[in-house]
Amino acid sequence: MQKETQELVNKGEMLPLMEEFYTIQGEGFHKGTAAYFIRIGGCDVGCHWCDVKESWNADIHPPTEINQIVDNADKYSKTIVITGGEPLTWDMGPLTKKLKDKGMQVHIETSGAYKLTGIWDWICLSPKKIKLPTPEIYEKAHELKVIIYNKNDFKFAEEQAEKVNNNCILYLQPEWSKRDKMMSQIVDYVMQNPKWKVSLQTHKYLNIP
Ligand code: SF4
């Protein structure tokens, strides 16, 4: 990557864009809502069950001017979901400012492992054991979405629920490949611990991106 381009990426004026698409948010509080997804490359959290491993290496995703990303989004939706990868690998300030200037609702899906940057209408915090969130994001998260891969994850979910703010909505979501095995345990757990809600990856059942 050229030095000038790298500098712009470092400032959040360009971002490694993996893909962008208009679809239905399948998960969590806003499930069922039409939204434009912007998937930013780059993540070194390293979840072994990650379903977007091709996002990890930022170098294979083209550095893209944020004005172009905003113009593309503006053609489709006023609800924007920024995901990854781990979007907080980068400074989200410049992109989210431009999206907000267009009157958009801007959501993020993040592990929270890095400094929180950007202006957000909705923060979905999906913490990962191997790289825990920063203290700041627990205070600001609107929803906590813990992925349940095996039964040990219920304990992790409770530890994370202890840390979030009181208004944060709590979700347990089966990891896709383990959904058949874990779903009945999640249902039982939520019935016994009704502060939690079940989140499903409904877009995968609908066979949409
Ligand atoms: S944080 Fe997200 S993108 Fe990164 S490895 Fe984990 S699941 Fe994949």
User: Domain residue spans in the chain?
Assistant: 3-205
Which of these, 69, 47, 68, lies nearest to 56 by C-alpha position? 47
Amino acid 73: pLDDT:
98
CATH architecture of 3-205: Alpha-Beta Barrel (3.20)
208 marked as part of a ligand binding site: no
pLDDT at 206: 87
Shortest CA distance to 156 belongs to which of 147, 165, 169, 164?
147
Question: Cα(110) to centroid of ligand 1, in Å?
Answer: 8
Instruction: Check whether 23 is labelled as a binding-site residue.
Output: no
* Residues ≥6 apart with Cβ < 8 Å to 101: none
Instruction: Flag whether pLDDT at 1 surpasses 80.
Output: no
Please check if 83 is assigned to a binding site. yes
Ligand 1: which of 45, 134, 149 to mutate, most ligand atoms within 8 Å of CB?
Answer: 45
Rounded mean pLDDT, 106-113: 98
Query: For 22-33, how does the pLDDT look when each residue is reduced to its tens digit (9 = 90+)?
Result: 999 999 999 999
Our answer on whether the CB atom of 83 is closer than 6 Å to any ligand 1 atom is no
In the predicted structure, residue 2 carries a pLDDT above the cut 90: no
Task: Give the mean pLDDT of 48-63.
Answer: 96
Q: What pLDDT, in 10s, does the model give residues 165-196?
A: 999 999 999 999 999 999 999 999 999 999 99
CB 203 within 8 A of CB 24: yes
Q: Is 47 flagged in the annotation as binding? A: yes
As a whole-number percent, the residues of the chain with pLDDT over 70 amount to 100
Assign 72 a pLDDT band (cuts: 50, 70, 90).
Answer: very high
Average pLDDT, the chain: 97
Please tell me the distance from the alpha carbon of residue 170 to that of residue 150, in angstroms, as a whole number: 18
The alpha carbon of 174 and the centre of ligand 1 are apart by a number of angstroms equal to 15
Q: The pTM is what?
A: 0.97
Q: Which atom of ligand 1 is nearest to the CA of 43?
A: 4
167 Cα: distance to centroid of ligand 1 (angstroms): 25
Q: Which two tokens stand for residue 82?
A: 């920024």
User: How much is the average pLDDT of 41-70?
Assistant: 97
**Quick one: average pLDDT of 142-146?**
98
Q: How does DSSP assign 21-41, residue by residue?
A: EEEE--SSTTTT-EEEEEEE-
